[in-house]
Amino acid sequence: MSLKLNMANGVREFARSAPHRIAAVEGDRSLSFAAMDDRSSRLAQGVLALGCGPEKPVAVLAGNRIEYFEIMTAMAKAGVPVVPLNSRNSSLDNEFIVAHSGARVLIVDPALAHNASTFIESMDAVIAFAGSGAGDVGRDYELFLDTQRAVDPKAQVGDDDVFCITYTSGTTGRPKGVVLTHRGRLLTAYGAAIEYGLGPGKQTMAVAPLYHGAGFSFGFAGPQLGGQVTVQTKWDPEEFLSLLQSSRTSTVFLVPTHAQQIRRIVEEPAGAYDLSALETLYFNAAALPVELKEWVHQAFPGVGIHELYGSTECSLVTDLRPEDSMRKAGSVGHPWFMNEVKLLDDDRNPVAPGEPGELWARSPMLMKEYLNNPEATAEATDDEGFISVGDVAVADEEGFISIVDRKKDMIIAGGVNIFPREIEEVIGRHPSVDEVAVVGVPDETYGERIAAFVVPTAGAVVDVEALQQHVAAGVAKFKLPREWHTLDALPRNAGGKVLKRVIQDDYVAARIEPA
The H-assigned helical ranges of 197-249 are: 213-224, 237-247
Annotated domain spans of the chain:
1-24+31-182, 410-510
Query: What are the tens digits of pLDDT across the range 403-424?
Result: 887 778 888 887 777 888 889 9
Q: Which range, of 25-29, 195-199, 365-369, 476-480, averages the lowest pLDDT?
A: 476-480
Measured distance between the N- and C-terminal CA atoms of the chain, rounded to whole angstroms: 68
Q: Is residue 368 classed as helix, strand or coil in its secondary structure?
A: coil
Mean pLDDT of 215-234: 97
Dihedral (C-alpha) 490, 282, 309, 501: value to the nearest 10 degrees?
Answer: -10
**Residue 209 pLDDT grade (very low, low, confident, very high; cuts 50, 70, 90):** very high
Q: Which residues contact 80 (CB under 8 A, 6 or more apart)?
A: 44, 47, 48, 52, 53, 54, 56, 57, 58, 155
Q: Which residues of 297-333 are buried (b: 16+ CB within 10 A; e: fewer)?
A: bebbeebbbbbbbbbbbbbbbbbbeeebbeebbbbbb
| Contact call for residues 444 and 426 (beta carbons, < 8 A) | no
Name the nearest CA neighbour of 77 among 41, 49, 34, 39.
Answer: 41
d(CA 93, CA 53): 24
Mean pLDDT of 194-223: 96
Count of positions (residues) in the chain: 515
Q: Which range, of 103-107, 231-235, 390-394, averages the lowest pLDDT?
A: 390-394
| Contact call for residues 504 and 491 (beta carbons, < 8 A) | no
Calculate ∠ Cα 261-264-268, nearest 5°: 105
Name the nearest CA neighbour of 36 among 17, 55, 50, 15.
Answer: 15
Q: Which range, of 18-22, 336-340, 448-452, averages the lowest pLDDT?
A: 448-452
Ordered strands of the 22-26 beta sheet: 29-32, 22-26, 228-231, 203-206, 251-254, 280-283, 304-311, 315-320, 334-335
| Contact call for residues 408 and 390 (beta carbons, < 8 A) | yes
Q: Give the pLDDT score at 132.
A: 52
The H-assigned helical ranges of 276-354 are: 290-299
- pLDDT of 72 higher than 90: yes
Q: Which CATH superfamily does the domain covering 410-510 fall into? A: ANL, C-terminal domain (3.30.300.30)
Query: What are the tens digits of pLDDT across the range 121-131?
Result: 999 999 999 86
The CATH number of the domain covering residues in 1-24+31-182:
3.40.50.12780
Higher pLDDT, 134 or 331: 331
CB atoms within 10 A of CB 111: 18
Q: Give the pLDDT score at 512.
A: 54
| Contact call for residues 50 and 20 (beta carbons, < 8 A) | no
d(CA 353, CA 317): 18
Query: What are the tens digits of pLDDT across the range 245-268?
Result: 999 999 999 988 899 899 999 999
The residue type of 264 is R
Q: Give the pLDDT score at 6.
A: 95
Dihedral (C-alpha) 459, 464, 466, 472: value to the nearest 10 degrees?
Answer: 130
- pLDDT of 1 higher than 70: no
Q: Is residue 270 classed as helix, strand or coil in its secondary structure?
A: helix
Name the nearest CA neighbour of 163 among 222, 97, 79, 225.
Answer: 79
| Contact call for residues 101 and 177 (beta carbons, < 8 A) | yes
Q: Give the pLDDT score at 134.
A: 47
Q: Give the pLDDT score at 413.
A: 82
Name the nearest CA neighbour of 330 among 359, 309, 300, 345.
Answer: 309
d(CA 356, CA 461): 36
Q: Give the pLDDT score at 478.
A: 85
**Residue 514 pLDDT grade (very low, low, confident, very high; cuts 50, 70, 90):** low
- pLDDT of 220 higher than 90: yes
d(CA 277, CA 282): 15
d(CA 292, CA 281): 14
**Equal fold, 1-24+31-182 vs 410-510:** no
Q: Which range, of 61-65, 115-119, 287-291, averages the lowest pLDDT?
A: 287-291
Higher pLDDT, 69 or 503: 69
What are 486's strand-pairing partners?
454
Do the strands 125-128 and 105-108 form a parallel or antiparallel pair, or are they unpaired? Answer: parallel
Q: What's the pTM value of the predicted model, to 2 decimals?
A: 0.86
Name the nearest CA neighbour of 229 among 189, 187, 284, 273.
Answer: 189
Name the nearest CA neighbour of 73 among 115, 102, 94, 44.
Answer: 44
Whole-number average pLDDT of the chain: 92
The residue type of 118 is T
Mean pLDDT of 106-122: 96
Share of the chain above pLDDT 70, in %: 96
